[in-house]
Amino acid sequence: MATVALLNIGSELLRGRTINTNAAAMGKMLLGKGYHLNTTLVIHDDGPVIRQSLDDLLTGHDIVLITGGLGPTKDDITKTVLRERFGGEMVCHEPTLRRIEGYLARRGRRLLESNRQQAFVPSTCEVLENEQGTAPGMAFRENGRTVVSLPGVPYEMRHLMQHKVLPLLETRYSHQHVATRIVRTGGVPESRIAERMEEIEPKIDPRVSIAYLPSFDGTKIELRASGEPAEAAELDAALLQGQDLVAELFAKYVYSREDKTPDRVLAEYLLARGITMGTAESCTGGAIAAAMVQHSGVSAVLKGGIVAYMREIKENVLAVPAATIDEHGIVSRETARAMAEGARTLLGSDFAISITGIAEAAENAPKEDQPQAWIGYADAKGSTALHFRLFKGREVNIQIAKNAALIYSLRCLWASFGK
């Protein structure tokens, strides 16, 4: 089995100015094709350091993937180091030059020498054309080993990995069959999941590994199996059987049997049925609506959203009765339901979701003023609400509350409109 290393180049990654999302994305993409990432190294934009790091990684790996340092600025030196390392001379890759010229022309910009230099590559490399950007990828071979250099821009890297790098690796190296099944849950802690899993673990094929991955949108239960390609059908069947057992055990908490976020699951559900949605948000400040608009086509079902942060907006825009707030408080079941009902009426949607809560508490605040939220839901059949406590800092609490509202929306919709 081929061994793989990743070399991320960029001083900004080490100084905390840029988050290294490429490592996680590349590891996931490699694993999906049956390659296991053994080593990840992050280094500064420094020629000798790049050269030494590459030599060190090549002594123990069959494949080294490099990201970063291919832009038009002076600190982008990866290409120069690779030419020195693998020999040859710099030559102009005409298709890349034409793409750069067209890219700049469409934006009314002239071609600078720094832009032109991006089309030059070492003559010893195989050019991986980058349809998503200006800097091409480059692949080198040495004694059966492969080095691939990619731009550090995440969407360019992902495009090249999917369309160029992985197909290239599959022609050169054997790989395992790797399959994954997912069960996404909300409202049940990781510790409780692990405890209850003991009930079904003896029934799951021992070749299936199980991981619990908690995040702001619940706990993802990941079942994975890997083996020789000849075992593919058998392993897939074992995974499906394990997924069925997990989904049945946690049926009350499952919101997806795919690796999809709550907003994506909700968007797909609404689009498939033509159900329209409205939102009324206080403590989340529009985060629920913002999550929904990330998905294509959602304009057909998302009517709109109201950020009702202050009391007068709840009363004057959403028509929440002042008596309701006076008697029960702003953070209450009754106010959450009234907000959802008001949003549904105002926006003319099939249903509305609301949230009112406390994202951050003052030091030594009483229990009733500790971080918490009420989620309201309203459709033509009536309204309901859900309460939950929050235990993190302000930013995290907002994300947790947003996802809780999305998952609660799904459960209420399933009850009213069916799964």
Residues 228-244 have pLDDT tens digits of: 889 999 999 999 999 99
Q: Which residue has the tokens 């074992």?
A: 238
- pLDDT, residue 229, reads 87
pLDDT reading at 71 higher than 80: no
Of the given ranges (7-21, 254-268, 288-302), which has the lowest mean pLDDT?
7-21
- pLDDT, residue 224, reads 94
- pLDDT, residue 374, reads 98
Q: Rounded CA gap, 393 and 83, in Å?
A: 49
- pLDDT, residue 369, reads 85
- Give 176's pLDDT tier (boundaries 50, 70, 90): confident
Averaged pLDDT, 23-43 = 93
Q: By C-alpha distance, which of 353, 410, 356, 358 is closest to 384? A: 353
- pLDDT, residue 326, reads 97
- pLDDT, residue 324, reads 98
3-state secondary structure 83-111: HHHHCCCEEECHHHHHHHHHHHHHCCCCC
Q: List the structure tokens of 326.
A: 């006076």
pLDDT reading at 74 higher than 80: no
Mind listing the pLDDT tens digit for each residue in 117-147? 889 999 999 999 999 988 999 999 999 999 9
Q: Rounded CA gap, 336 and 224, in Å?
A: 40
What is the phi/psi pair of residue 396, to 5°? -70, -40
- Give 365's pLDDT tier (boundaries 50, 70, 90): confident
| Nearby residues of 193 by Cβ (< 8 Å), 6 or more positions away | 185, 212, 219, 221, 250
pLDDT reading at 153 higher than 80: yes
- Give 174's pLDDT tier (boundaries 50, 70, 90): confident
The single-letter DSSP state of residue 378 is: E
CA dihedral 366, 368, 371, 377 (to 10 degrees): 180
CA dihedral 406, 408, 413, 416 (to 10 degrees): -160
pLDDT reading at 69 higher than 80: yes
pLDDT reading at 75 higher than 80: no
- Give 351's pLDDT tier (boundaries 50, 70, 90): very high
- pLDDT, residue 386, reads 97
- pLDDT, residue 76, reads 78
**pTM (2 d.p.):** 0.82
- pLDDT, residue 133, reads 87
Averaged pLDDT, 288-316 = 98
Strand partners, 218: 215
- pLDDT, residue 344, reads 98
User: Average pLDDT of the chain?
Assistant: 94
